Amino acid sequence: MTKNPSRVQPADALVQSTRRRRFRVATLAAVFSLFALYVAWHEAHGPGARHNDELPITQARADDASQPAVAVATPAVVAGSDLVKRGEYLARAGDCVACHTADKARPFAGGLPINTPFGTIVTPNITPDPDTGIGQWSDADFLRAMHEGIGKSGERLYPAFPYAEYTKVTDQDVLAIRAYLNTLTPIHYAPPSNSLKFPFNQRWLMVFWNLFNFDEGRFVPDPKQSAEWNRGAYLVQGLAHCEECHTPRNFTQGLKTSSRFSGAVQAGWHAYNITPDKNSGVGNWSDDQLVAYLSTGAAPGRANAAGPMAEVVADSTQYLTHEDVGSIVTYLRSVPPINGGESRPRDQWGKPAVDDVTALRGTTINAVNGAQLFIANCATCHNWTGQGVGASAPGAYPSLIHNSAVGASDANNLAMVILHGVSRTTKQADVLMPAFGTQLTDDQVAAITNYVTKQFGNPQSTVTVDQVAKLRTQQ
C-alpha cells in the first residue's frame, strides 16, 4: 500500500521549518556570545588598562627640544594657577564654550540644542554646580567621559560630544581642563532633556556605534615626523576635533574616514574641503594665509569666516599661539588631497561688475530682480562692482570677487550669510554683517544669491526658493 504524497509533504515542510528556526536561533546565540566575549574583553583590557600610547607627546619631540611644548602637557607636574591657565588655554583649543553655551549670560551651562538625523540632543551643564553641573564629578569621572564617552552614572554619551577625538588627549591635559572648569562660577541650571526618536533614545545602543566608529586610546606620536607635525596632529585629531565638521558622515553618522577633511554640510553650512587639493581644497593657499584665516577669520583674496567657522575663530583659534596654529597648518598640509570634482579653486572666480547700475537707471522693475536687490541692500558695503570697501584692512567689507563663499560649487554659505548675517569678534576687528532674513523673502534671498554667484563667482552655483526656505530654518 503506497503513501499519499499529499499527506507526506506537509510533515516534511514542518520538519524543515523547525530546522530553519533552530538554525536561526543558534546563529543569533552565537553572535550574541561573540559580542558578550568582546564586551568582557573590552572591560578587562580596555577602559582600565594603560597603554604605551598614553606616553606624553614630548617623547616624540626629543629630536627638537628647542621647540616649546605649547599644545600638550610637559612631563613636569603643573600646579595651582599655572594648571588653571593651561586648562583655560586647552578648553579654548577644544572650543568647549561653543557647544556648552546656549545663553551667553550662562557660559558653560549647556542647553544648546543640536539637531541630528535621529532627533535633538541638548548639551549639558559643565559648570561646577553640584546639582545641575559637574560639581560632584571626580577626576576619574571626567577622564572617563572624555576618553571613553561614559558619564558619571555609567551612561553612554552620545557622539555629539566628540569623545571619539577627545580620547586622544593626554590625561594631563584633560585634568588641566578639569582644573579650569572647577574655577568657573557655578550656574544652577538644568538644560531641557534630549528629544530622540526610538530606538535612538536607548543609550546602550551606543555600544554598537562605538564598535564601528570609536577607537579608545591616547594620541601616539610618530617619531618619523617633526615635532611641529606631531603637535599639529595632536591638536587636529584631538582637542580641535576638526574632522567633526570637515569630514562627511557614514550611514551611522560616524566619520567617513576614507574622506577625511574633504568637506561636509553642518546645519546648512558647508564646512569646506581643507585637504591640500589645489582645486577642491586649500592647496593653493600659502601657509601665511591659512595662519591668518585661523587667527583672524580673514584671508583677503581667499575667504572670510562666517557661521560656525566664525564662532570657532572667535572662541577658539584666535587664542592659539603662533606655534600651535603653524603646527595645525603643517599637519593639514600632510593629509591626503581629495578632489571633490571642482574645475578650479573656489577662490579664483569672478570679475567686477561694469555697467549694472547704469543698466538699471530709468528701468521699471516689475518682478524680483537680483541686481536691483543687490544694489539696494549690499552695494553700500560691498560696492556695486563687488570689490568691497576698505581693501584688506582688518575692518574692511570683503570683496565678493575671489571669495570662497561666492565661488563654491554650492551656494549654501552665501545664502546663509544673507539670511543670518556674520558676527565675528577677534583681537584684530569686530566684524558685523546684518542678517537680512527678516527683511527679505525667500525669493528675494534666492535672487540676490544667484545674482552674486553669476556676476562675481561661480555661475553654475545657484539656489532655489525652496532651498532658501529650508536654510532659513537651520540653527
Three cell numbers at 8? 507526506
Estimate to the nearest angstrom the gap between the alpha carbon of 9 and the chain centroid: 61
Q: Which residues does residue 422 pair with via DSSP β-bridges, in sequence order?
A: 433
Of residues 85, 88, 80, 121, the one with CA closest to residue 107: 88
Cβ neighbours, 10 Å, residue 240 = 24
What's the pLDDT at 16?
A: 55
Residue 19, pLDDT score:
58
Strand partners, 425: 430
Q: What is the pLDDT of residue 174?
A: 98
CA distance 283 to 247: 17
What is the per-residue pLDDT for 475? 64
State pLDDT tens for residues 258-286. Answer: 999 999 998 899 999 999 999 999 999 99
Question: What is the full per-residue pLDDT of the chain (475 aa) written as tens digits?
Answer: 444 444 434 445 444 555 555 555 455 445 444 444 444 444 444 444 333 333 333 333 333 333 333 444 443 445 578 999 999 999 999 999 999 999 999 999 999 999 888 899 999 999 999 999 999 999 999 999 999 999 999 999 999 999 999 999 999 999 999 999 999 999 999 999 999 989 888 999 999 999 999 999 999 999 999 999 999 999 999 999 999 999 999 999 899 999 999 999 988 999 999 999 999 999 999 999 999 999 999 998 899 999 999 999 999 999 999 999 999 999 999 999 999 989 899 999 999 998 887 778 777 778 899 999 999 999 999 999 999 998 777 678 999 999 999 999 999 999 999 999 999 999 988 999 999 999 999 999 999 999 999 999 999 999 999 999 999 998 6
Question: What angle do helix axes 171-182 and 80-93 make, rounded to 10 degrees?
Answer: 100
Task: State pTM to two decimals.
Answer: 0.81
Give pLDDT, residue 197: 87
- Per-residue DSSP letters for 82-141? HHHHHHHHHHHHTTHHHHSBSSTTSTT-B--EEEETTEEEEPPP-SS-TTTSSTT--HHH
Cell 553655551 sits at which residue? 101
- Cα–Cα dist 439/264, whole Å: 29
Which cell goes with 28?
543569533
**Alpha carbon of 387 to those of 301, 408, 423: distances in Å?**
10, 18, 21
pLDDT recorded at residue 200: 87
Residue 452 grid cell: 552674486
Amino acid residing at 289: Q
Mention every residue, 6+ apart, whose C-beta is less than 8 A from residue 199. Answer: 205
Q: How crowded is the C-beta side of 66, counted as CA atoms within 13 Å? A: 0
DSSP 3-state assignment of 424?
strand
Q: Cα(452)–Cα(103) distance, rounded to whole angstroms?
A: 34
Angle at 440 between CA 434 and CA 445, to 5 degrees: 90
Question: What pLDDT sits at residue 64?
Answer: 35
Question: For residue 6, how far is the Cα from the chain centroid?
Answer: 66
339: left (phi over 0), alpha (psi -120 to 50) or beta: beta
